Amino acid sequence: MFKKILIANRGEIACRVIKTARKMGIKTVAVYSEADRDALHVAMADEAVLIGPPPTAQSYLVMERILQACKDTGAEAVHPGYGFLSERSAFCEALEQEGIAFIGPKVRAIEAMGDKITSKILAKEAGVNTVPGYTDIIQNADHALQIARDIGYPVMLKASAGGGGKGMRVAWNDAECVDGFERATNEARSSFGDDRVFVEKYIEEPRHIEIQILGDSFGNIIYLGERECSLQRRHQKVIEEAPSPFLDEKTRRAMGEQAVALARAVDYQSAGTVEFIVDAKRNFYFLEMNTRLQVEHPVTEYITGLDLVEQMIRIAAGERLNLTQENVRLKGWAIEARVYAEDPFRNFLPSIGRLVKYLPPKESEVVRVDTGIYEGSEVSMYYDPMIAKLITYGSTRDRAIAHMRDALNEFFIRGVQHNISFLAALMVHTRFMTGRISTNMIAEEYPNGFHATDVPHDDPALLISVAAFLHRRYLDRAAKIDGQLPGHERVVNNDWVVFMGDEQHPVHIEPAEGGYDVVYMEENYQVRSNWQFGYPLFKGTLNGTEICIQVERRDMVYRLFHWGSQADVMVLSPRMAELQALMPIKAPPDLSRFLLSPMPGLLTKLNVTVGQEVKAGEDLAVIEAMKMENVLRADHDSKVAKVLAAPGDSLAVDQPIIEFE
């Protein structure tokens, strides 16, 4: 077994690998860029090596610096994590030449499966079902148009070296095909340094289901069940689960056997994932093989009881798999939610900045948090905006969902925007709860984006009762102030009005042992808690049922967050409530004359000049953020009065780009 390994990655996956290595008694070496000097993975590792400036092209993607770090520290093996160099065959080859083990598959498998075109040809030869399409390289937009017409719309344009939704576009007609080819090519060149694009038939009502495989150097290859990864937004996975609520045992076995056949065709050694697209009739087609650990591997670990990182390390050290296909047993259900620094109420724009508050849910047998950050960490513009992966487990799917809902309630993050509201809304969505999901579900259910009204609270009485508790607790403390005149002590009234939105809710509050009794709509709500002033999580019971609500006090307003729903609440005396109802509402400023940058990013293209007439739907500018191109279009006919930014400018959120007349 190795004595020391280097992790050629950062963030949560680097921390994840370090945990397993530590459990196995293996020392670890972290590498880091200047932006990650204070990162969690650097603190956790036994040693750490600086490898360059923040941009990945100057640090985490520079093979020579990783190799030098191995030599300087005496690391015998390298775990690449996912992303960065994890599927770069040249990196694997360079390590082999230096006598350093690569904790992953061999060069041949990486090369064969890393190219989507080559992998589809090999899959066909191995007897794996494949999607109809054109597997040769497309020369130009006209060529793409011709192929798309031959296959028949809709079609998917995909970067050959792609991944993570980059370099991928769906086209439903000729115009979208030409535009999609240009966008996919540009994104592929920017993200992967390889602008090759191919076309395949787009499967409608598709599910994304993948098979986890393990192979050793003795020719033993097994599959560990499937993961359902259909809940995606813009081809990026949001929620994953294992097993799939859609597959039957027959389909699971057929997909698993085909995945093993493909892995055997390239002599696969390590953990790997074969991704399939599955239609409504359970017909399945090969998409691609990821020759690395997947982001969503924890759900498989929960239901199999295996540590996949440990398996990868043991295989790379030359050990034989210690289980056969007959030994694989799937038990229970696991769900993973990806917590990102992004604003779901602003079309999921990336949010960068410092985490001024970070309180993850407490880990247990049914709750796991994989993260690479801590309170005070910075979410950088240079890297993926993932904050953490939240994984929950249950004996049934319903139990796993219930644990996820509770855990999301406890996940407190401030300093950057985050998508917890969106994740919570998905957990209670009828289509998700009944398992009727597809890769199109989010686009279909939220066609106009995600809004606060999409997460109405299904028990307003809970929020009203807790708000009443909080206010009364503050008042009771204030009533104990020293120096009051005897016989004139402050007396706290029991009748109040909870102001939530435009609605008034009269309540009666009586002190009780361990809390308060709140009478609302002639119902008695017994709220009990040892909540401390200023603590952001209100934990206690409501009529004997455990609750956890996020709490912030902002002057007279209590901001409550529960089950993804956020409410700004005031608790006022009856007379103050009457006056509050008369207060005018300040209208927001009219910014319709401006094109504002919806995200921090680089302005790469500006298509208009001063005095130019523009039509609704016309492309105005292109902003690159997180290596994705975002086209800004006119939402109405207008004329350009001023141009306030130039290509090459780094833009902040809401920075004006164009002013219209």
Full set of structural domains in the chain with CATH: 4-103 (3.40.50.20), 132-201 (3.30.1490.20), 206-331 (3.30.470.20), 341-435 (3.30.470.20), 460-580 (3.30.700.30), 594-660 (2.40.50.100)
| Predicted pLDDT of residue 91 | 97
Q: Is 3 helix (H, G, I), strand (E, B) or coil?
A: coil
Task: Report the share of the chain in percent with pLDDT over 90.
Answer: 76
Cα separation, 620 vs 596, whole angstroms: 11
Give 343-362 pLDDT, tens digit per residue.
998 888 888 889 999 999 99
Q: What is the pLDDT of residue 297?
A: 98
* Mean pLDDT confidence for 111-119: 86
The predicted structure's pLDDT at residue 381: 80
**Higher-scoring residue by pLDDT: 161, 120:** 120
Active site positions, annotated: 288
Question: What is the Cα 125 distance to its own chain's centre?
Answer: 35
Strands of the 333-340 sheet, one edge to the other = 284-290, 270-278, 207-215, 221-233, 236-242, 333-340, 386-394, 367-371
More confident position, 442 or 114: 442
Own/partner contacts of 280-286, CB < 8 Å, gap of 24 or more, are: 280/205, 282/246, 282/247, 282/248, 282/251, 283/129, 284/129, 284/209, 284/251, 284/254, 284/255, 285/129, 285/130, 285/131, 285/203, 286/119, 286/120, 286/123, 286/128, 286/129, 286/130, 286/131, 286/258, 286/262
Is 624's pLDDT higher than 80? yes
Does position 537 have pLDDT exceeding 80, yes or no?
yes
Q: Give me the mean pLDDT over the 75-81 stretch.
A: 98
Report the alpha-carbon distance of residue 155 to residue 98 in Å, rounded. Answer: 44
Least confident of 197-206, 411-420, 427-436: 197-206
Indicate if the pLDDT at residue 193 is higher than 90: no
Mean pLDDT, rounded, for 16-36: 98
**pLDDT, tens digit (0-9, with 9 covering 90-100), for 234-275:** 889 999 999 999 999 999 999 999 999 999 999 999 999 999
- Full 3-state SS string of 135-200: CCCCCCHHHHHHHHHHHCCCEEEEEEEEECCEEEEEECCHHHHHHHHHHHHHHHHHHHCCCCEEEE
The confidence score (pLDDT) of residue 568 equals 92
pLDDT greater than 80 at residue 644: yes
Show the beta-strand stretches assigned E in 19-100: 27-33, 47-52, 77-79
Query: What pLDDT is attached to residue 355?
Result: 95
What are the tens digits of pLDDT across the range 290-340? 999 999 999 999 999 999 999 999 999 999 999 999 999 999 999 999 999
In 324-448, the DSSP E strands lie at 333-340, 342-343, 349-350, 353-354, 357-359, 367-371, 378-379, 386-394, 412-414
DSSP state of 588: P
More confident residue, 104 or 487: 104
pLDDT tens digits along 57-69: 999 999 999 999 9
The answer to whether 652 and 349 are in contact (CB under 8 A) is no
pLDDT digits (tens, 9 = 90+) for 495-526: 999 999 889 999 999 999 999 999 999 999 99
Instruction: Summarize the confidence of residues 361-371 as an average pLDDT.
Output: 97
Q: How far apart are CA 421 and CA 259, in angstroms?
A: 36
CA angle 254, 257, 262 (to 5 degrees): 125
- pLDDT computed for residue 320 by the predictor: 97
| Residue 547 pLDDT | 95
- Mean pLDDT over 189-202 rounds to 84
Can you give the pLDDT at residue 452? 78
- The pLDDT assigned to 202 comes to 86
Residue 626 has pLDDT above 70, yes or no: no
> What is the overall mean pLDDT for the chain?
93
- Which residues make Cβ contacts (< 8 Å) with residue 138, sequence separation at least 6? 144, 147, 181, 196, 197, 198, 199
Q: In the predicted model, is pLDDT for residue 164 greater than 70?
A: no
pLDDT bin (cut points 50, 70, 90) of residue 163 is low
